Amino acid sequence: MIKMYRYSVYLCSLFLLCLISCQTKNMIKPPVAQKKPFQLTNHDTTRIDPYYWLKEREDPEVLEYLKAENNYTENVLKDTEELQEKIYNEIVGRIKQTDMSVPYFSNGYFYYTRYEEGKEYPVYCRKKGSLDAEEEVMLNVNEMAEGFEYFDVGGISVSPDNKMIAYGVDTVSRRIYTLYFKELESGKILDENIPGTIGSASWANDNKTIYYTQKNEQTLRPEKIFRYVLSSGSGSELVYEETDETYYCYVYKSRSRKYLIIASTSTVSDEYQILPADDPQGKFKVFQPRERGLEYSIGHVGDKFYIRTNLDARNFRLMQTSLKATSKENWKEVIPHREDALLEGFINFDRYLVIDERIMGNTNLRIINMDSKEEHNVDFKEKVYSCWISVNPELSSDVLRIGYSSLTTPTTTYDYHMRTREMELMKRQEVIGGHDPDQYRSERLFAIAPDGKEVPVSLVYKKGTPLDGSSPLFLYGYGSYGNTYDPNFNSVRLSLLDRGFVYAIAHVRGSEFLGREWYEDGKLLKKKNTFTDFIACAELLIENNYTQTDKLMIYGASAGGLLIGAVINMRPDLFKGAIAAVPFVDVVTTMLDESIPLTTGEYDEWGDPNEKEYFEYMLSYSPYDNVEAKAYPNLLVTTGFHDSQVQYWEPAKWVAKLRDLKTDDNLLLLYTNMDAGHGGASGRFKQHKETALEYAFLLKLLHKDE
């Protein structure tokens, strides 16, 4: 009897311990950010921002809050750690460890990038004259990156005599680079270096003079062009300063290697200045003075400049002019404007002109023989695809290097022989473990927006995936700056597709997927079209049984994070889960603060909130300002502490406000990478740790542990 009693007590104690353990696990409480009301008054409107204090980057309380949020996210997702590791290993396992890019020939050398097994960073190499020649390692970034949490090399530029390189290094992820110079024969890195640059330099033809762009330390706006003569001891000489805060400037060298070019660009206007590269001490000449609304870009070949411009051409046209008379009244039309085709770019060769144009969402490459004027299009077999002009440094070549991809076809490099029209396969991205494109299917649908516009949706799924509403769906969106997210292959995505997900891209307004008008209808006072387009795409996918609301996941980054924030305010009932990466969510406050990096240059994209009409419109959709006391979908928000594009405090404030007001018990997680910026972690493997975390979050919502 006594034994029975003791055994009963033991069972009871065990039960209580289990109960306490379970309750403790379920009682993980999220951090609560302290409220410190801060008053903001504009246009007779007063806003109270209780989390404005999170802007104080050096404040220990801010750092403690971000750390607490990271700990909370880690604890909530602790039960997915094995899954995260599994997904990470899947993703990394598909990457070819020892790999090499297709070499390209430039000024007597073949250049290529290779990767070594187990190493995070590239090795930049070249061979003189022949691929059978001895390899020269220009930079081994793996060795350079030792001891750094973040390391990025940008803008490698070789001197005309092939003896030296200039390159930029960023060890913070703030996109501020220090320029270094290395003698290639001896391997010596010069003692002289230049901090505070955009990371690239352009060589004059004397092999000792370089031009570079410096950033404003506070706003990070590229604003000054300097001339620097190596080993002269004379220091840098300012040659141009962009005083208009809505413009950025940079300097580069023409493909012909004949001209140094200073570009000043804004959202709606451009201006270029040119200088013969043989005259490094000369004075730059304005190509065509800036005019508001006049966009153009230039390319040089032979005795002509070619100009892509929107002059009397919404979808752009191509012009040409002589070297001596470059202003717009001297431009002569080469390719006329078309309503059904957006002229996205061009590239000149001595004998050929290649036109990059977008027609009904797909990119078309048009080849024109400049002697015979005969033209043809490069033929691609798939209906939903992406192609682009790759690295083509030699103007005398008859071979066009191009890239190709689709939602089912891995990235492929071709050499297209423009004279014979033969397509030569140079490389197709290898997916380790095997990838059979025939096992996947891609489609394009069209959703109907509230104003009747047809919004394209590209999607891919593995054959056999049920299309009866039972499958989870991952919907991606961006829709800003005219940036078009093409339907490309990504081996990372296979970790979702092979688990039964449908993957879809909403080609919403704000991109140029359907031409320039498609972009203009998704900016300024038409910005809300971006959000309603996305919602229409989500509703279409549900109506057509690709998924259901309780399995619909959405994702957006940067301005795409703004999209996510806006749509979950507008239709929180439509989505099971959302991921907002480095999200631009505090639109009004940010755009009113000219001290924040990259603000003034954005006025022609979002509007200037110093004007009441734009202030009120932006305030009507700004995700942070429109958080309400209601139920929201499960949400994972990621950011980088050193982000130079969208400051970390925007997502931090947003999460704090959502925590305070939302009425549901759904997950709300914030993860701040304290060592990274807008692009996340550096390194080809390390970056996928965050991807694995995101995918595990989605699978947790679906109660899938594999």
As beta bridge partners, residue 368 has 353, 375
**Active-site annotation holder among 586, 678, 682, 688:** 678
Rounded Cα–Cα distance for residues 467 and 551 (Å): 13
Q: CA end-to-end span of the chain, whole Å?
A: 47
Rounded Cα–Cα distance for residues 689 and 443 (Å): 30
Closest CA to 444 of 504, 379, 496, 522: 504
**Strand pairing category for 502-506 and 454-462:** antiparallel
Exposure b/e, 442-462, CB count within 10 A at least 16 = b? bebbebebeeebebbbbbbbb
CA angle 522, 524, 525 (to 5 degrees): 90
**Is residue 591 packed enough to be buried (19+ CB in 10 Å), middle (13-18) or exposed (0-12)?**
buried
Closest CA to 90 of 704, 691, 703: 691
Q: How many residues does the chain have?
A: 706
Give CA separation, 75 vs 17, 27, 625, 705, in Å.
Answer: 20, 11, 29, 16
Largest CA distance in the chain: 110
Q: In the annotation, is 643 catalytic?
A: yes
Angle between helices 528-543 and 559-570 (to 10 degrees): 70
Q: Give me 345's structure tokens.
A: 């770019």
Rounded Cα–Cα distance for residues 396 and 445 (Å): 42
Q: In the annotation, is 106 catalytic?
A: no
Strands (E) in 549-654, as ranges, are 552-557, 577-581, 634-640
Give CA separation, 526 vs 59, 170, 607, 610, in Å.
Answer: 38, 37, 11, 18
Work out whether the CA dihedral 580, 586, 588, 593 comes out positive or negative.
negative
Strands (E) in 164-323, as ranges, are 164-170, 177-183, 194-203, 209-215, 222-229, 236-241, 248-253, 259-265, 270-276, 285-286, 296-301, 304-309, 317-322
**Active-site annotation holder among 558, 622, 644, 682:** 558
Q: How many CB atoms lie within 10 A of CB 476?
A: 20
Q: Give me 141's structure tokens.
A: 């970034």
8 Å CB contact between 418 and 353: no
Q: How many CA atoms lie within 13 A of 198 on its CB side?
A: 21
Q: In the annotation, is 21 catalytic?
A: no
**Active-site annotation holder among 270, 521, 533, 643:** 643
Q: What residues are labeled active site?
A: 558, 643, 678
